[in-house]
Structure 1
């Protein structure tokens, strides 16, 4: 009997840990995708081998690689028809990473494929309890700083053991938005970010019935980052069919707003003029009265507890006086009140219960994105600016 131990393959997170951020992707849409795939290929291939990009860690019944591929390919036609430049990036990603197109699509559709009883997975069947709201979820704050500039502060909270699997991308663009900076999970082309035109975008999970085969919201964000301003982004959200429900936070030189969506409706949330610094905050339940009756976020979600905690924070200095800035927003993202059901979410020892995997401050007027690749309480923020295309710690 051989006593030689097999060599352990590095995990996707281990393969990412030695990379320098951001990954820069230049040229045409296909060339940009190819650059990302080449830079992240070993980690992407390892990730896909880890329970199908961790999808099967989230589902009550495993989906498996081949079933995930078949389902992902059902989304290819609507993505190509409605977001052709994004589809070209996905095709380039597959080429660069040396994976089938179906696998590249899986990476864009983790949310849709992970949620049982939604979309095409059990089309026509009775829907089981939808756990897609998660116990912990993203918390987003938009406000006007002392200099009059709109800022977005957000935690990116994800289920599925996603620690160490975030990426930072510096992307050329074909549209009026120009170059963009984005944070996204490994292999995904969109999540949140800002562009050269001064548009910033955040996103929160909300849960409404009727998910469908259509472009997923994170690819819609990738498309929005090619646009010139919040008005254009809002119009695009309203125009495009959407696979699943989300709340989009938009900020530009004119201010900020939130757009709550189901698959077929949109409602806009504007700041209350009586609130200091034009504050808007969102967790994972609908706030607009037209959409609140459709809410399917589980009763055990932390969303309302986090919202109540934000109200407590905003009643205190410096928020109550209207003098808060980016440092104060970082403190909000690091808040542990009501842990483990806190804004800064450290998880509860289950891959199905999300945790904070990134903390981000977006300053669209300065074309600046500050990213902590983990929880804000113990992970340093690194600043990136579009104008100099370099990281400054």
Structure 2
């Protein structure tokens, strides 16, 4: 699986039609996602699939308020794949479900390394955004590349877990987003928005300020870091904590992030991801050191080398499963993505970038 591109699905039309195509053509991958999270919800939080689905339904009013198109698209995925609405909804709120049973314990929700290089720092003058996405290796078979042509919204290219409508990618307005898991011990009360739904709102945006608004207009139900970039030569790091957020601007031409809070504004947060993933500090320091050692402007090949780095193997930037860990806690790099926002293209490597070639893709 790691040596082949993920299935590419082209979808267009109304939100429901986009979802139906997604569900129908990725039915096999949706099944993998559902089986992965059935097991995870129970292993991590002792939450049954039925209970997870019932909890997921509680987010419908907030999602409808945020953008009613999204529930239509989720319904389309359900109808196209043959699964129930609440089952597809459970995938879209999978981070929130895991946290329900583990609110005060360190919870792993992906150990990723993300970056943005602005046009001032790159050899080709483009803003380049991307990451290694580290997660459960069983979910690799549930991932797809989704090419969406929308009505009255930007077109989107994203790499996502089948069934989830918002993930890592870029759009025709020249903006993109990458994701790092963050967590705290504080549960946000009241009306909250799932982080993957917020990611879709970001990908439906037209500029960076719209992206920030898309993920802060309603409190997120769990913490997250979004690395965002624009073809206008800008990059930002957006940390979202419990009912609070902060943004750092790439004034030095680049930003990097892993899995702990960085901005001083959120230093009061009890950061539980840094406990679950102490390698976060090493990965961040390592990529920063590699960047500082460059004696030329950054190239795509430089970034590929950074993403394949094995310093402190196996908990490295290019992460490999550690057989010494319990099976449920093992993580590996599912894919590596490098997005050129000026050119509207991406370099994509399924699996570990140390042993899988990047394919240049343009939609």
TM-score (norm 2): 0.90
Deviation at 1:171, TM superposition (A): 0.6
Bigger proportion of residues as helix: 2
Residues 1:221 and 2:199 aligned together: yes
Deviation for aligned residue 1:322: 4.0
The answer as to 2:231 corresponding to 1:256 is no
Query: 2:31 aligned with 1:55, yes or no?
Result: no
CA pair 284-367 structure 1, distance change in 2 beyond 3 A: same
Shift of 1:80: 1.6
1:47-126 → structure 2 map (5 Å cutoff): 47-48=33-34, 50=35, 52-56=37-41, 58-59=43-44, 61=46, 63-117=47-101
CA contact (8 A) 1:173 1:226 kept: no
The Cα shift of 1:272 comes to 4.0
Cα deviation for residue 204 of structure 1 reads 1.0
Find 2:245's aligned residue among 247, 255, 266.
266
Compute the RMSD of aligned alpha carbons.
Answer: 2.3
* 1:180 partnered with 2:156: yes
Runs of 5+ unmatched residues, structure 1:
1-12, 119-126, 387-393
In structure 2, do the counterparts of structure 1 residues 251 and 100 end up closer, same or farther at CA, with 3 Å as the change threshold?
Answer: same
CA deviations over 1:184-211 (Å, ceiling 9, x no partner) = 1122112110111111111111113224
Determine whether 1:27 maps to 2:44: no
TM-score by length of 1: 0.83
Which string of whole-angstrom CA distances, capped at 9 and with x for unpartnered residues, describes residues 121-162 of structure 1? xxxxxx44122356xx11001113123211012011113732
Moved over 6 A (4+): 17-20
Q: How does 1:1-393 map to 2 (within 5 A)?
A: 21-48=7-34, 50=35, 52-56=37-41, 58-59=43-44, 61=46, 63-117=47-101, 127-132=103-108, 137-144=111-118, 145-159=122-136, 161-176=138-153, 178-208=154-184, 209-211=186-188, 214-254=192-232, 255-273=234-252, 278-294=253-269, 295-301=271-277, 302-316=279-293, 319=294, 321-349=295-323, 350-386=327-363
**Cα shift at 1:223:** 1.8
Residue pair 1:24, 1:169 contacting (<8 A) in 2 also: yes
* Aligned equivalents of 1:29, 1:194: Cα separation in 2: 18
**What is the CA distance between 1:30 and its match in structure 2?**
0.6
Aligned length: 352
What is the CA–CA distance in structure 1 between the aligned matches of 2:268 and 2:169, rounded to whole Å?
30
